[in-house]
Amino acid sequence: MITVSKLNKKFDQTTVLESIDFSVNKGEVVCLVGPSGSGKTTLLRCLNLLEIPNGGTITIGDKTVNFDQAPPSKKEIAQLRRYSGMVFQGFHLFPHKTVIENIIEAPLVVKKANRKTLIDKGKSLLEKVGMLEHIAKYPDALSGGQQQRVAIARALMMEPEVMLFDEPTSALDPQLVKEVLRVIESLAKEGQTMVIVTHEMNFARRVADKALFMDDGIIVEDGPAKEVLSQPEKERTKQFLQLLDDD
């Protein structure tokens, strides 16, 4: 489903990702964990080309983009992005559109799909994430957790093969975190392929098939989530998890 090989990324002269190699099989949930500034979010953004890598290759589905050659064309970027849906920390909903208008916007514009068909599908997805009763509300009338659940439904509207989550609960009050994690957990049970940047270790241990521990722009440890997050081999991983447990 996803294969990343020798991926590098620099901002000016600063290397933020160095020789990244990993793969994600169809139906797998992979969590990216590590300290702030370790490169997790940059890696996630590289997967759908919100950031353009400086070297290496990314394959998603049957599309491979090689960054050792010329920068990707707009067509290549669009082809790779069609495989993935992205959920950000800050929701990114349109404030002047209702819940249903927010989630049908992308397929309406990109796919030129039928509006009534999209509304019917949108209602089904809003029911799935527990937000159907809020269909006519605007984002400022919703809690952070509710906005994030709408953002998840919006990403699912494009029928992505892979869902990418960038710390989806980091902007939420603690009491709202569980409602978002429950939605993501239900997607995992349905077999949705996902790559999730998270600091929620108990959630990661429960949901993830694999975990990648990152530090200083490299993958320090990569393996089954229960092993990496509960019995890590690398000292840097142990130190990081110990700090979280101490908190």
Give buried/exposed letters for 20-29 (b at 16+ CB in 10 A, else e): bebebeeebb
Report the pLDDT value the prediction gives residue 247, as an integer from 0 to 100. 54
Give tens-digit pLDDT for 73-89.
999 998 888 899 999 98
CA distance 1 to 111: 23
Does the pLDDT value for residue 245 go beyond 70? Answer: no
Average pLDDT, the chain: 92
Report the pLDDT value the prediction gives residue 246, as an integer from 0 to 100. 58
Q: Is the pTM of this model over 0.75?
A: yes
Task: List domains and CATH numbers for the chain.
Answer: 2-83+161-246 (3.40.50.300), 94-159 (no CATH)
Give tens-digit pLDDT for 203-227.
999 999 999 999 999 999 999 999 9
Compute CA distances 39 → 107, 125, 168, 220, 223, whole Å: 31, 32, 16, 12, 18
Does the pLDDT value for residue 108 go beyond 90? Answer: no
Query: pLDDT class for 90, splitting at 50, 70, 90?
Result: confident
Report the pLDDT value the prediction gives residue 171, as an integer from 0 to 100. 83
